[in-house]
Amino acid sequence: MELNLKGIGEKDGQALKNMSKEREKVIHNSSTTPINVKFAANEVADALHPTVQHVKVVDIIEEGQDTKTFVLVPNVDVGTKKLAYFRPGQYISIRVEIEDGIYNRPYTISCSPKNANDNIYTITIKRRPRGIVSNYFLDEVKMDDKFAISAPTGNFYYEPIRDAKNVIAIAGGSGITPFISMAEAIVDGILDFKMTILYGARSENDFLFKKRLDELAKKSNLLQVKYILSEEVNPNYETGFITKEMIEKYMVNENSFFVCGPTPLYEAMNEILKEFSIPNKYIRHDALFGRVDLRGNDLYNLTVLTKGEEIHIPCRARETILYAMEKGGIETTSRCHVGECGFCRSKLISGKVKIFDDDICAADSEFAYIHPCAAFPESDVVIELPF
Q: Name residues whose C-beta falls within 8 Å of residue 139's C-beta, 6 or more positions apart in sequence.
A: none
The region of 14-22, 40-48, 139-147, 338-346 touching ligand FES under the rule CB under 6 A is 338-346
- Binder among 187, 330, 336, 385 for ligand FES (CB under 6 A): 336
Asked if 375 is part of the footprint of ligand FES (rule: CB under 6 A), the reply reads no
In whole angstroms, the minimum distance from the beta carbon of 65 to ligand FES comes to 28
**Binding mask of the shown chain, residues 80 to 119, with x at each position contacting ligand FES by CB under 6 A:** ----------------------------------------
Note whether 178 binds ligand FES by CB under 6 A. Answer: no
Q: Is 265 helix (H, G, I), strand (E, B) or coil?
A: helix
The piece of 72-80, 206-214, 246-254, 333-341 that touches ligand FES (CB under 6 A) is: 333-341
State which residue, 105 or 210, has the beta carbon closest to ligand FES.
105
The only residue of 184, 286, 340, 364 in contact with ligand FES, by rule CB under 6 A: 340
Q: Residue 144 to residues 77, 127, 151: CA-CA distances in angstroms?
A: 12, 21, 20
DSSP 8-state assignment for residue 321? H
Helix ranges, the chain (H): 10-29, 40-48, 113-117, 132-139, 177-187, 210-219, 244-248, 263-275, 321-327, 362-366
Among the listed residues 129, 36, 116, the one whose alpha carbon sits nearest the alpha carbon of residue 80: 116
Between 229 and 373, whose beta carbon lies closer to ligand FES? 373
Residue in 371, 375, 376, 385 binding ligand FES, rule: CB under 6 A: 371
Interface pattern 276-315 for ligand FES (x via CB under 6 A) = ----------------------------------------
Give the Cα separation of 367 and 348 in Å (integer). Answer: 9
The residues that bridge with 260 in the sheet, in sequence order, are 171
Nearest to 251 by CA among 288, 198, 298, 199: 198
- How does strand 91-98 pair with strand 67-74? unpaired
- Give CA–CA dist 208/203, Å, rounded: 11
Which span sits near ligand FES by CB under 6 A: 63-71, 135-143, 230-238, 332-340? 332-340
Q: Which of 134, 256, 334, 346 binds ligand FES (CB under 6 A)?
A: 334
Site residues (vs ligand FES, CB under 6 A): 334-337, 339-344, 371, 373
